[in-house]
Amino acid sequence: MLHPPIKRWRDWIPADCPGCGRRVACQGLCPDCLARLRPAAARPRCPRCAHPLDGGRCPDCGAAAPAYDRVVAAFDYTGLGRDLIHDYKIRCRLSLAGLLADQLARAVRSAGRRADPPDWIVPVPARREALLRRGFSPPAEVARLLARRLGTRCRLDGVRRVREGARQVGRDRVLRLQAQDGVFTCGVRDGLSGGRIAVIDDVLTTGATLQAVALALKEAGAARVEGWVLARTVDRRCEPPGGRVLQ
């Protein structure tokens, strides 16, 4: 086992803040960028999918209850949060995986899930084309690191793709749900019956991917499925200016 100070080398080696480039005394965000990243706690959210609410029914799960039981999001997909996801997924900055796992671990602890931990953490499996293009799976890398931070078991093969499925960018909710129908299946059966599963993904937009994964897991016997995501998209009418557009 590594000596604790060596294990926590990220806490004291200076580095550039990924948000603003300012030199900070740890491998993470500076206090100003961290404050910009975290969503406003006072903003009402859907208790099921964490979508911001401006009154009335949730636009993503108000019409029918989804198969997943809850969503925990580290931050909103806007401004700095959108920039970090862009750099991680599009610019393939694998070095951001640890920082993003830290933010998701913080959100999970704040949501009280540490006291009621899942039996397994499983990532949404990447499409083959995206995996070959990036050289890594963004959800899998975060899931692996998150499991270490929370002391929870991780199954990278917990869910697998039956077929590739179409890219979701630019599709509305109906088309996203149709495109994900039958895409996923449970990759394991042992120990899943009656279990609690946390599904890790990078961005939750309409919940179509999480819905398909949750259905596959519950059909295999899972009792509870939560989505733990890095970023949650927000209604663009409520989205503050700033940040780069994900192409």
What residue segments make up the domains of the chain, in order of their start? 1-37, 48-56+66-232
Give the pair of three-digit tokens for residue 223: 């009792």
d(CA 171, CA 210): 16
Distance CA 80, CA 98 (A): 17
* Model pLDDT, residue 136: 95
Note whether 52 and 41 are within 8 A (CB). no
Tens of pLDDT along 69-82? 999 999 999 999 99
Helix (H, G, I), strand (E, B) or coil at 238: coil
Has domain 48-56+66-232 been given CATH number 3.40.50.2020?
A: yes
Does the predicted model carry a pTM greater than 0.85? no
The CA-based dihedral angle spanning residues 79, 25, 108, 50, taken in that order and rounded to the nearest 10 degrees = -10
Q: How far apart are CA 218 and CA 185, in angstroms?
A: 10
Tokens of 179: 């495109």
**For the chain, what's the residue count?**
247
**134 - beta bridge partners?**
none
> E strand or H helix at 173, and its extent?
helix 173-179
Which positions ≥6 away from 181 have C-beta within 8 Å? 212
Give pLDDT tens digits for 110-145: 988 666 789 999 999 998 899 999 999 999 999 999
Q: Given this model, what pLDDT does residue 243 score?
A: 40
Most confidently predicted of 10-14, 61-65, 181-185, 199-203: 199-203
Give pLDDT, residue 98.
94
Q: At what angle do helices 138-150 and 97-110 cross, to 10 degrees?
A: 50
Round to whole Å and give the CA distance between 73 and 201.
10
Tens-digit pLDDT profile for residues 167-223: 545 544 455 455 556 789 887 766 677 899 999 999 998 888 999 999 999 999 999
- 32-50: pLDDT as tens digits: 999 989 765 567 888 888 8
